[in-house]
Amino acid sequence: MNRIDQVFKEKNDILNVYFTAGFPQLDDTLRIARSLEDAGVNMLEIGMPFSDPVADGLTIQESSQVALKNGMTLETLFDQLANLRKEVTIPVLLMGYLNPVIQFGIERFCERCAEVGVDGVIIPDLPLHEYLNSYAAKFKSCGLHNIFLISPNTSDERIRMIDETSGGFIYVVSSSSITGAKPGIQDGQIEYYTRIQAMELNTPQLIGFGISDSETFRAACTYSQGAIIGSAFIKQLKEDAGERAIQEFIKKIKG
């Protein structure tokens, strides 16, 4: 069984944490992953830095720029993850944009993910029809879940289609905006979350974008199986990327 499926089978209030590979230092990737698991995180989302991250806010954009200046590439990332499964047991996803993956070679990308023990991939700008027509078979053969995003503007018809074709979980984008930590629950979000709940989807959901503290994490868990924190953790890494600081950050989120 895919590790992502196993977590959803066994856990509630799942905490998935995003961080950018190669930030703040090039060789920090595996150390941060290990520290997050030790702190009690249930799932990891490792960002593949890209020069034009259109869905990301300033915090993650800046971390990508630093990582690229540090020398992070997909080839380097896979080299760093060669010993991933000797260090980390929880599910690991890679998140990034289609252009670098195409340049790397999608089939080769999937094969390298399988080799190092990556469980899933989030590529926000990969169209659903293109995935189904061209890549789904390869992802499946490599044991990879491809995670799709929905937002308040996504139609019920498309949500149903994503539910039918998804594995792992559906990424519920909390608002029609770019990533970034936001205080509290924003207007209209509860209505949106309730709408998704009422659809009784077969695929589990995690809520992301704007999850930044214990309050927003707990609110997200009320309406889904858990939440994803990104920008708030990147800010923590910028301030202090030490193991104790990571432990304290996660402790505050989980309450």
d(CA 145, CA 4): 8
Active site residue 45: yes
Q: What is the CA angle 147-93-221, rounded to 5?
A: 70
Q: Which one from 28, 56, 87, 243 is the annotated catalytic residue?
A: 56
Q: What is the CA angle 51-52-53, rounded to 5?
A: 110
| Confidence label for 250 from pLDDT (cuts 50, 70 and 90) | very high
Q: What value does the mean pLDDT take over residues 75-90?
A: 97
d(CA 228, CA 217): 8
pLDDT digits (tens, 9 = 90+) for 99-152: 999 999 999 999 999 999 999 999 999 999 999 999 999 999 999 999 999 999
pLDDT digits (tens, 9 = 90+) for 180-209: 444 556 667 888 999 999 999 999 999 998
User: Roughly how many angstroms between the first and final C-alpha of the chain, as a whole number?
Assistant: 30
Tell me the angle at which helices 243-254 and 29-38 cross, rounded to the nearest 10 degrees. 40
Q: What value does the mean pLDDT take over residues 223-249?
A: 96
| Confidence label for 176 from pLDDT (cuts 50, 70 and 90) | low
Show the domain range for 112.
3-254
The whole-number pLDDT of residue 180 equals 43
Q: What value does the mean pLDDT take over residues 82-109?
A: 97
d(CA 118, CA 94): 7
d(CA 34, CA 244): 12
Active site residue 125: no
The candidate with the shortest Cα–Cα distance to 88, out of 145, 23, 42, is: 42
Residue 250: CATH number of its domain: 3.20.20.70
DSSP symbol at 207: E
Q: Which one from 13, 28, 37, 45 is the annotated catalytic residue?
A: 45
Q: Which residues contact 210 (CB under 8 A, 6 or more apart)?
A: 174, 175, 177, 179, 180, 181, 182, 186, 216
Q: How many domains does the chain have?
A: 1
| Confidence label for 52 from pLDDT (cuts 50, 70 and 90) | confident
